Every structure is written in C-alpha cells, then in structure tokens.
Chain A
C-alpha cells in the first residue's frame, strides 16, 4: 500500500511538469496566437487565457459574444476571432451561427483594444444535418482563407472567407468535407491541406474519449483521405494524439509555427488527473512523419545520453577516459573459456569523479560508452519559467550538480554547481523531424539566440540554429530512471 503511494507521488511530481503551469484551465481552446510578445487562447464561454512566456497561463483574455469553441488568426496587422453562438445542441436544437470579428490587438490593456461588430459567415437551422459551431480557420499559401465548422450532428462544412473583410466570400457555396467530428480545423504544409477534427466524447472528465484525427488532400476543398484510404466524409481519420497516462481526452487542435522546423500544437486535455480532473490547455511539439502530423513528446525528467545527430557522438565532460576495471572480455566462442558467465558492474560516478578537475570542465562529444561523464540528468526548474510549451531545464551530470552552461565566449562548458543563472537554464524544443534543439536561456554578453550546435564531430558550441543541418540537432536516449 505504501509502495503504491510512493509510486503515485512519483507520478504526480513527474507528470505535473508536462502540463502548462499556472492556471491553464480552459475548454475548447482556440489556436494560440501571439500578440506583442504574449500568447493568447480563447475558450468556450467568454474570455480566455494569457501567457507571458507560453508556459505559465492565467485567465484574463477578453472575448465578447459568449458561445462556444472560438478560433483566432492573425491576418496582416489585425486579429480575426471567430466563434459559434451556441453550445452544440445542449440548449435544445442545432440552430447556430458562426460569427467573425476583428481586433487590432488581443491585449485588453492596450488602448487599441476593441472588437469590431461580429458578422455572420455561416449558420445552421434547427434541424439540418449540420451544426454551425466549432469553427477553425486556415490561411492557405495562396492567401485564401478557409473556415470549417460542425459537430457530431451531421457534416463538417467548409466556406471561404474574405481575408480583408472577415465576411464570407460573395457567392461562395458551402461544401461538406467531413462528418461526425468536432473541433475541425485545417492546416497546410508542403503541398498538402490537412483537415483535423476530434472524435470521441467530450465533457466527461476523466471518462472523456476525445482524440484528435486528421485526413489530407492536395486540394483545400478535399476530399481529405486518411492513412487507410478513407475520406473524412466517410468517417475516416488518422490518429494525431490520444490520451496519455494521466492526461485524458485531447481535443481542439491548433497549430503554432514558431519557425522552420519548430512547431507546436495546442489543444485541451478533457481531464488532467493531477489537477482534479479538470480541463486544461495542452501544448506539444508537432512532428511531421511521412507527410503526417503527430504529437511529439514533452521531454520527461530523467537521465539521458545527449546525442549529436551530426555524428551520433554523445555530449560529455572533457575528462580522461577512465578504463573500466574487471573482466576484459574474451572474444572466442568459448571452447577454452570455461569460466562462468557473470554480470559486471557498470562504472560508477564514485569510480571516476576524483579524477575530474574541481572547477569549470569543458564539454565535448565523444563515443557513447554509458560512462558517468556522459550521463546527464535533465530536470525542469519550476521557478525559472518557460517558453511556448515547455519549462526551462537544468542539465547536470547525473549524481552531481555539475551543470551545463553557456559562457561569455558563447561556448559551452560545465560549472561545478548549478546556481540557477540564466546561462545554466536550457530550452529544449522537439523539432518537426523528432530531433531536438537545445538553447541556453541566455548567453553572458551576447544577445544572439544561439543554440547548442556541433560544428565539429567532437565540438559542441553555441551558434545559429539551422534546421537544415544535423549540426543543430540532438537526440535524448533515456537509459536509467532518475535516482
């Protein structure tokens, strides 16, 4: 019984780090939009969440009109906010309206803050095979603005919006592109249009089966086909994300492109079991695999090999290679080797740490051998804040406080004690190809947003991030639970 409690406690402390911090309580969040350095998302009901850093969220965003499940997009220097006026048949029929309105800013404190009058772009009658809520919008690569809406009650319907006015394009005929899902939205990448939606049951807390699906098409108007060849209008859909261990029911996808190779997806978890089972904002890396979007993983606290994608070499301290003691193998097939086969202990920190200098020790990349100078504990630092979708981490040699740090020469080394200084805090983003970018929060005396880069096979440094180069990419190979 006691053991169960300990495990639960471990889970708790681990898992909480993967959710947004602060009070990220929201349902049906809009796509996240950045405005003057802050992040905004609107939810069902009025209002929404604001975050200064993209990690700690609090209430305070302002959206009039009530209703359900808004979406938001920046077009030129204005923000278009879209919402549905009712809540999906809960109040009776399925008559509803999709409204759009503009604002010059999303910051309610700004003197420019003021919504234009909402205009009607799409509606559903009391009893047709369509329910005009849950809007999602996409600005295509050709500047055309597409809006989809709908729920389980019939079809997902698509219309074209005039990006200058926010009105429906004159003469535009609505078409049906999907069926029986919620929270539809579209995205575009590399010649493909994607239609996303949410299947399953919402609004049932930890019992909600919400999950996000996708189909794709070369044409913005579909048909959107899934991985087994089914159209979304036939009820198809390839999985993007489903429930996780203690985070249940992902729904209401939104894409946030930070820069080439760095993308995030926002959504809500219907229930966070570590936060009373409440509905919370979720943000995950958005990964692309064979032309399909997938949810990436939040880097979990643990002990890792930090592997350069350039060479496959592992980040390590610049210290002597200490040979492991004990049996030295034997390469034959055993005819003459009658000794019993035994387990050899791994080299331990205490076997080598006395050979290390006490002060600053350089960092380099070397052949990975699972040795103490190659084992890094990566641990979120809650008080250090975060960035879109993640906390800052400290990166220390396992079993010590020796911390990876940026220095004033814009190089990396390790300092004997982690002090919480910003050059010892690391931002870790999973990239769209599944590898990772590692960036210091700041570099003493430098303003450049440099990342950890292997310019040589053996030589990590801080230099401009380049998504097209394996020099800029890293992988984390977990091999042992953090003790």
Chain B
C-alpha cells in the first residue's frame, strides 16, 4: 500500500512538474512577461524579478528599484515602462501611489541599464473607495496608453497616460468593484479587463482566480458573460486552480505572433514546490470573443490529427489488416458478443523498414503506426512557456525529424539532434502548431503542415490556414 502510494506520488510529481516553468520561478504578483534583447523578464512584489533566456527556465536576477508591490511592464517604442505601487504611504491606510519609470533596457548587465526617476502617476488618498496599487498597463490599438489600478478596497480605476511621459491625462474612471491585479488587453474590437477575485497570500488555501469582463470602450462598462458590469461585482472566470496548482492571479498577456498567444500569472501555491508561489504561463485562447485558458501540456500518447482533413499523422508503412474473423453488418445478434484485442506493435513492427520511414496522413484507426508518444524534455532549453518535445512512435525510439530537404521523416532512434526536437504551441483557436527546433541547412522557421490531405511537410506557418494546424488527441 505504502509502496503504491509512493509510486503514485512520484508519478504525479514527474508529470506535474513538467507543466510549470522550470528553474527557480518563484515570484509573487508577476508583471506581464516582456522580451528584451532575446531574454524574458518579469518583475514581482518587493524588488527585482525573474529572467529567462529561453522563456521556460527562470531564475532571479531582474532588477527593479522602488520596492512596493505588484509591478507591471510594457515596451513602448524602444523603451520599457515599468510601473509599481506602494501602499499605506505616510501611514495613511489605502493612501497609495503608482509610480512610473523608464529604462532603455531590462538587462542589468547592459551599459544602457538605468531607470529614470520614478514619477507619481496615480493613487488614492485613503479616504476614497479606492486603493491605488496593483497597476496594469495597456497600449490600445489607437496608440493611447491606459493604466488600471486598485484592489478589494473599493474600485478598480482606469486612467489614460501620456505614452511619452507616462503622466496621467484626465480623470480616473471607476470600472470594477472589489478586484485586484487589474490588467487591460485589446482584441478584435473589444477591450478586456482582467482582474482577480478571491483571497491571495494564503498558499495552497488561496482562492485567487482570474476573471474578465469586456467593453467597447477602454473606460468601460466591462460586462461579463451574463451582462453583469464588473462594477456590480461581475466577472467571467478565466482560470482558478489546476490540479496541484492553486490560486491563479496577476494576468499578463504575451503575444508570440498572429494566432499564438500566452498569458503569464502566478499560482499562489504549487503543491509540487513546497506550496510556494510560482510563475506560470499558459496558452491564451479566444472563443466567441472571450479569452480562455489553454490546458497545460501533458506528456503522453497522442494521435496527431491534421485540422485540414481530420486525418492522423502516421508512418508510411503498409496498413496491416486485422484478422478479426466474421464481422457481420446485420441486425441479427447471432453468437456471443465479445471484445477484440487492439492491434499491437509486435503484430506489425516486423513489416516496417529498418531505416528512416517517411510519413503520411491517413484515416485514424488507432493502429501502432499512428500512435505517437510526445515527451517533454527538460534537459534542453525550452521556449516561451514550454519545453521542447520528442515525438516517437509508441513503444519504439523511432522519432519524428525534420530533414534538409524541408520535409519530415522518422529516424529509427531519437538522438536529441535539434531537428528531432519539437516546439508545440497551442493556438488561439485551440489547435496546435508543431515546429522543429531546427531544420538542417536553413534558418527559416518552418512548421509541420499538411500540404495535401495525405501529405505532411514543412512550410511557413499560416494562422489563417487549417493546413498549418493540428489537434492532439490523447489516447
């Protein structure tokens, strides 16, 4: 009994740990992840923040003066705007201030690294229904810059900032009641206000959760899926807790490219890491005009199905028929009804060639030549929000690989070569892009595409085309 429990716990650990960022991603109230000169940065409560070279493995080292809580960061032109807040200034409860400062780089090693003097851009006097901390920044599609701030003490407020100086323009507007960690984003004609409900700072007992409302105007009203205004306590859930990761808060959007978005946040308590607060990233999906959290990727056995035609990626080998005896298509139920065995790898592997085997896309029959094991690799650098994977035929070492002729094939054994490492990103429509880390002989970024119903190849990713999209169905 004990042994089994231990094994289960271990297995859970192994699987689960791979879903979070690796390294030392310990942070609370992370700012939106920002890229600077090929590295990724996020700042947290207190001073400093995290840096990652690959977007997957994080460590301390980012530098932000000023202390205080819950910063946000945004690249504007060739500069970085960092905002943060301090509460209870001069002993006045909820007398809080938001400060802004600029830097030419976020890399503390750079000779250009120097924050400008912070300026006070918003706040609360302690008497009003607002607590001016937890700032969030958004650059609108029209080049107007907006700041949202506030906590459970009254309202979140939105105020416009001058994008040249970050000074406030005009009067703040109340947009939401009893939230924290406000952040605005814009998508397809709508402004979205993300925030958190629930309790922070209680480890694995925190009930933090990310909610969202939307509006046609940056100053609201932001309404939820029921039409409730966030100023009336409304809010549609984006993400609360996942198994073993509790209390999502402090949303930040990271657009990788058209059709590929991520969001950063913290979990208040990661049960696989002593219940500490950790940075996390997930795919950001869009469904019916609402942002939706993608699921964490999980290693396992999958069908890799082309969105173009619904066919599945398979080895180009003979489809060995199963001998199952009489079938019968009639309604007469003669004879006992029995369960048939699945076709097994050993039934067919002897018919496969030994060397490289090419690929095609065919009707799904759940046969061994269609069964892929996708395994996250944490001993090689990852990419923003994910680990590279090896993709092998179940029960074998036969691995999916990009070739110098810009095609895909399988090699008999996985060697760890970069053309055998695959980056899998969930797209905003919920399907997946599958890209080799490298294609021999070219620097071009190519993805797995279905150039025909039956023909996989490598091509330029096109978020508008189903040819570029794949579904992963777990066995």
Contacts and interface: CB of A to CB of B under 8 A. Distances in A.
Contacts of B332: 25, 59
Interface stretch (B130-138, B213-221, B239-247, B400-408): B239-247
Interface in A311-348: 311-314, 321, 323-324, 326-335, 337, 339-346
Nearest to B327: A205
Given A311-B237, A333-B26, A345-B9, A227 B466 contact: yes
A158 to B, nearest CB: 24
Contacts, number: 224
Interface string B310-347: 11100000010110110111111101111111100000
Given A25-B333, A471-B226, A245 B204 contact: no
B276 A341 contact: yes
Contact of B365 (A23, A27, A209, A228): A209
Contact of B363 (A211, A321, A344): A211
Interface in A201-222: 203-207, 209, 211, 213
Contact of B335 (A47, A276, A326): A276
Contact of A323 (B24, B205, B311): B205
A12 to B, nearest CB: 5
A47 B12 CA distance: 52
B330 A23 contact: no
Contacts of A12: 339
Interface residues of B, number: 81
> Secondary structure of the B side of the interface?
loop
B276 A49 contact: no
Interface string A216-247: 00000000000110000000011110111110
A250 to B, nearest CB: 10
Nearest to B362: A209
B124 interface: no
B274 A243 contact: no
Contacts of A211: 310, 363-364
A188 interface: no
A153 interface: no
Interface stretch (B45-53, B158-166, B254-262, B350-358): B45-53
A225 B328 CA distance: 35
A214 B363 CA distance: 15
Interface string B200-222: 01111111010100000000000
B372 to A, nearest CB: 14
Contact of A331 (B24, B243, B277, B363): B277
A436 to B, nearest CB: 16
Interface string B243-286: 11010000000000000000000001101111111000000000
A273 interface: yes
A8 B342 CA distance: 9
B342 A335 contact: no
Among A205, A470, A479, max chain B CB count under 10 A is at: A205
B327 A277 contact: yes
A228 B464 CA distance: 10
B28 interface: yes
B467 interface: yes
A45 B328 CA distance: 13
Interface of A: 8, 12, 23, 25-27, 43-45, 47-49, 59, 199-200, 203-207, 209, 211, 213, 227-228, 237-240, 242-246, 248, 271, 273-279, 309-314, 321, 323-324, 326-335, 337, 339-346, 367-370, 433, 469-471, 479-480
> A-B pairs with the 9 shortest C-beta distances?
A239-B310, A312-B237, A329-B203, A205-B327, A331-B28, A27-B329, A209-B363, A367-B207, A328-B203
Interface of B: 9, 12-13, 24, 26-28, 44-46, 48-50, 60, 198, 201-207, 209, 211, 225-226, 236-238, 240-244, 246, 268-269, 271-277, 288, 305, 307-312, 319, 321-322, 324-325, 327-333, 335-342, 362-366, 465-467, 475
28 contacts: A25-B332, A43-B331, A205-B327, A206-B365, A211-B310, A213-B310, A242-B312, A243-B365, A245-B475, A274-B337, A278-B328, A311-B236, A312-B211, A312-B236, A312-B240, A327-B274, A331-B201, A333-B24, A333-B44, A333-B60, A340-B274, A341-B276, A343-B13, A344-B274, A370-B242, A433-B288, A469-B226, A480-B243
